[in-house]
Amino acid sequence: MNAEFLKEVLLFQGLNNDQLAEILMLGIVKDYKKGAAVFEEGAEGDRLYVIYTGAVRISRIYEMGEEALTVLGPGEFLGEMSFFNAEPRSARAIAQEDAQLLELLNAELRSHLEGRPDVALRFLWAFCRTLSQRVRETNEKFTALFAISRVF
């Protein structure tokens, strides 16, 4: 994995090569086989993940089984809610296929951003745009479900 890859990740767009290299140096790369848990619902959230290769399914387990919320691919990130709060994971993440992820410990990333306000500003704006888009997509799903439920 190299800093060029991070240029394609929304969170890090707008950063220069030196800034990207600094971010890359904060993380570790880990391989997950298809079906392996990246994290479980209710687990401690201490890191943010960026997908380098493969795909990760975000889902919740209900009485009737698993409900897939989304499948994320290369260049997308997950585990972001734990970056802002210490709440347990709200969903589980499972490798949909063999995947390679960049793992960034929240404490280390926060510390780095505190010392680099220029990087922090770009990072946080990108974070907000992505979270806003995810909320919009969730709202659209709920609207569709509500419309379907009215038919029955």
| Tens digits of pLDDT across the chain (152 residues) | 777 888 889 888 888 999 999 999 999 999 999 999 999 999 999 999 999 999 999 999 888 888 888 899 999 999 988 888 878 999 999 999 999 999 999 999 999 999 999 999 988 988 888 888 878 887 887 787 777 777 66
Our CA dihedral for 46, 108, 136, 143, rounded to 10 degrees, sits at: 0
- Quote the pLDDT of residue 142: 75
Q: Enumerate the domain spans of the chain.
A: 3-151
- Quote the pLDDT of residue 34: 98
Q: Which residue, 37, 41, 36, is CA-closest to 91?
A: 41
- Quote the pLDDT of residue 152: 61
- Quote the pLDDT of residue 136: 87
The reported pTM is 0.85
Question: 3-151 domain in CATH 2.30.130.10?
Answer: no
Bridge partners for 53 per DSSP: 100
> How many Å apart are CA 99 and CA 51, to the nearest integer?
7
Q: Which residue, 75, 72, 73, is CA-closest to 59?
A: 72
Sign of torsion over alpha carbons 48, 123, 86, 62: negative
